[in-house]
Amino acid sequence: MKKDKKVVTLAYGCQMSERDAETLTQITRQEGYTSSDDLMDADLVIINTCCVRESAENKILGKIGELKRLKERNPNLKIAISGCMVQQPGALERLKKRAPHIDIWAGTHNLHDFSALLHQAEQGEKVAEVWEEPKMTIESTPQAEKGKLQANVNIMYGCNNFCSYCIVPHVRGRERSRKPEEIIQEIRDLVSSGCREVTLLGQNVNSYGQEFSPGYDFADLLQEVDQIPDLLRIRFITSHPKDLSDKLIETVAHGKKLCEHFHLPIQSGSNFILERMNRKYTREYYLGRVEKIHAFLPQASLTTDIIVGFPGESERDFELTLETMDLIHYSQAFTFMYSKRSGTLAAEMEDQIPLDVKKRRLQRLMSVQNQKSLEWRQQMIGNIFEILAEGPSKTNPERLVGRTRGNELVVFEGQPEQIGSLVNVRITEAGSWTLFGVIES
């Protein structure tokens, strides 16, 4: 029997999915597996899935098909599919029929039980377990991997918002906040192993702690994390605009390690579309939150998510989105065509937008934002920014790469011994997505 068992873990979708994939990898390490990137030498392949958009599902289904051929060459290979795609109502039976070569199916609520499923699969069984609701405490899953410069830390799970286009509440359940003391201890442990930057994760971090009594909210948690020694930077994602409080904005403004970057999805600039999306805020309210951010943090960068082609979106609705972008000047926008998700209210709405119209609007939106992103970064040329040196650049290994506090990617000349430390970099050149600079002595 092969002694050195290898696992390849693939994650699709958001940072929450990536964090779940890391949890699964940690579990397999406890079972004697070592991580690998080589599918041809793998004993176990795990795909943690996403179902937010049809394009993600299509990529995953294509990868599952590829793995069938891999298993034909290596019958001892075990394949596990987990995550949101599996959790959708009725999805498991459809997927099992389509992919009988898969050994393990696991949903979002029972990842902590993966070792038991793996043991069964290693004995030759086909295993499928998808819980409709969480049954165990959320502290039962492994913590983030230690020894890394940066780490994602879950502070909560699930979502209560039920945006009409979104499948997340259906596949991740209702909001559950982790205990503050558990989060703080996890981050302390990470820092002691060399971590210098954490990103706090939740589908809506702004609603963290709403089930706690007495009141303890996300701003309170940030204030505690900000006091952890040797931690250099704190980021968080994602913020729902309706729950972005003055207290939270002021906490970021007064924090020492809290990065001045807000990912604040607007989704549309039209109040009519926002209401149909069930976003629970208006364009005017959103603009007021942005004004508040810039009042306390003039240097803050804003990124966003925008959906075009939502059912019923007129040309005027789309123009309102473009006009809103002119008012806010996002450093980056993640733009998408509306994609039907079975089980959501929007999938049943009339006035679905033709594909060619959605494509045209998306291309125009991307063109506008690309130019704005370039202008945003060009105005940084000549300025000095504090950068956390993360490591060699993937495109230019002789240079280092890192990010500003505003989450701008910067490539610069540096030395290996500077990795993991804060350096001051003067920006000399700007592209649409990347800045270039030199260390200022």
Token digits of residue 12: 């699709």
Per-residue burial over 195-224, b = 16 or more CB atoms within 10 Å of its CB, e = otherwise:
bbbbbbbbbbbbbbbbeeeeebbbbbbbee
Examine the domain organization and report whether 327 and 393 are in the same domain. no
Domain count, the chain: 4
Domain that holds residue 242: 143-259
Q: What is the 3-state secondary structure (H, E, C) of 404-434?
A: CCCCCEEEEECCHHHCCCEEEEEEEEECCCC
Annotated binding residues? 14, 50, 84, 159, 163, 166
Q: What share of the chain is helix, strand, coil (3-state, %, to 5)?
A: 40, 20, 40
Examine the domain organization and report whether 154 and 238 are in the same domain. yes
pLDDT value, residue 313: 98
Of 338, 359, 379, the residue at which a domain comes to its end is: 379
Provide mean pLDDT across the span 278-286.
98
With respect to residue 348, please indicate whether it lies within any of the assigned structural domains: yes
Examine the domain organization and report whether 194 and 116 are in the same domain. no
Q: What are the pLDDT digits (tens) for 295-349?
A: 999 999 999 999 999 999 999 999 999 999 999 999 999 999 999 988 899 999 9
CATH number of domain containing 418: 2.40.50.140
Spatial distance between the Cα atoms of 64 and 57, rounded to a whole number of angstroms: 10
Identity of the residue numbered 372: K
Per DSSP (E only), the strands in 50-112 are: 78-83, 104-106
Q: If we measure between CA atoms, which residue out of 150, 200, 159 comes closest to residue 180?
A: 200
Annotated binding residues for [4Fe-4S] cluster? 14, 50, 84, 159, 163, 166
Q: What are the pLDDT digits (tens) for 135-171?
A: 654 555 566 677 789 999 999 988 999 999 998 888 8
Examine the domain organization and report whether 359 and 389 are in the same domain. no
CATH number of domain containing 51: 3.40.50.12160
pLDDT value, residue 3: 62
Average pLDDT, the chain: 92
Token digits of residue 411: 């490539």
Examine the domain organization and report whether 362 and 331 are in the same domain. yes
Examine the domain organization and report whether 116 and 159 are in the same domain. no
Examine the domain organization and report whether 364 and 389 are in the same domain. no
For residues 236 and 111, the model is more confident at 236
The answer to whether 150 and 197 have CB atoms below 8 angstroms apart is yes
CATH number of domain containing 360: 3.30.750.200
pLDDT value, residue 71: 92
pLDDT band at 57 (very low <50, low <70, confident <90, very high): confident
pTM of the model: 0.85
pLDDT tops 80 at residue 404 = yes
95 φ/ψ sector (left φ>0, alpha ψ -120 to 50, else beta): alpha
Percent of the chain whose pLDDT exceeds 70: 96
Spatial distance between the Cα atoms of 302 and 300, rounded to a whole number of angstroms: 7
Of 129, 151, 186, the residue at which a domain comes to its end is: 129
The answer to whether 72 and 107 have CB atoms below 8 angstroms apart is no
Residue with tokens 């609701």: 133
Q: What are the pLDDT digits (tens) for 370-392?
A: 999 999 999 999 999 999 999 99
Examine the domain organization and report whether 158 and 240 are in the same domain. yes
Examine the domain organization and report whether 157 and 248 are in the same domain. yes
With respect to residue 184, please indicate whether it lies within any of the assigned structural domains: yes
With respect to residue 20, please indicate whether it lies within any of the assigned structural domains: yes
Examine the domain organization and report whether 397 and 370 are in the same domain. no
Spatial distance between the Cα atoms of 370 and 349, rounded to a whole number of angstroms: 31
Of 75, 103, 129, the residue at which a domain comes to its end is: 129
317 φ/ψ sector (left φ>0, alpha ψ -120 to 50, else beta): alpha
CATH number of domain containing 241: 3.30.750.210
Other CB atoms within 10 Å distance of the CB of residue 77: 18
With respect to residue 285, please indicate whether it lies within any of the assigned structural domains: no
Spatial distance between the Cα atoms of 253 and 246, rounded to a whole number of angstroms: 11
Q: If we measure between CA atoms, which residue out of 148, 168, 164 comes closest to residue 156?
A: 168
pLDDT value, residue 136: 53
Containing 79, the helix (H) or strand (E) segment is strand 78-83
Examine the domain organization and report whether 122 and 209 are in the same domain. no
With respect to residue 266, please indicate whether it lies within any of the assigned structural domains: no
DSSP, collapsed to helix, strand or coil, labels residue 281 as coil
With respect to residue 278, please indicate whether it lies within any of the assigned structural domains: no
pLDDT tops 50 at residue 196 = yes
pLDDT value, residue 129: 85
With respect to residue 275, please indicate whether it lies within any of the assigned structural domains: no
Spatial distance between the Cα atoms of 112 and 131, rounded to a whole number of angstroms: 12
Spatial distance between the Cα atoms of 355 and 411, rounded to a whole number of angstroms: 38
The answer to whether 94 and 81 have CB atoms below 8 angstroms apart is no
pLDDT value, residue 22: 87
Alpha-carbon distance values, 128 to 121, 167, 168, 338, 343 (Å): 10, 21, 21, 31, 22
Examine the domain organization and report whether 357 and 393 are in the same domain. no
Residue with tokens 């350096």: 423
Percent of the chain whose pLDDT exceeds 90: 73
Question: CB under 8 Å to 63, separation ≥6 — which residues?
Answer: 10, 47
pLDDT value, residue 143: 64
pLDDT value, residue 144: 63
DSSP, collapsed to helix, strand or coil, labels residue 338 as coil
Provide mean pLDDT across the span 406-418.
95
pLDDT value, residue 1: 44
Q: What are the pLDDT digits (tens) for 228-278?
A: 999 999 999 999 999 999 999 999 999 999 999 999 999 999 999 999 999
With respect to residue 277, please indicate whether it lies within any of the assigned structural domains: no
Q: If we measure between CA atoms, which residue out of 179, 177, 190 comes closest to residue 228?
A: 190
pLDDT value, residue 142: 60
Spatial distance between the Cα atoms of 276 and 164, rounded to a whole number of angstroms: 7
DSSP, collapsed to helix, strand or coil, labels residue 30 as helix
pLDDT value, residue 111: 81
Residues pairing with 425 in the sheet: 385, 439
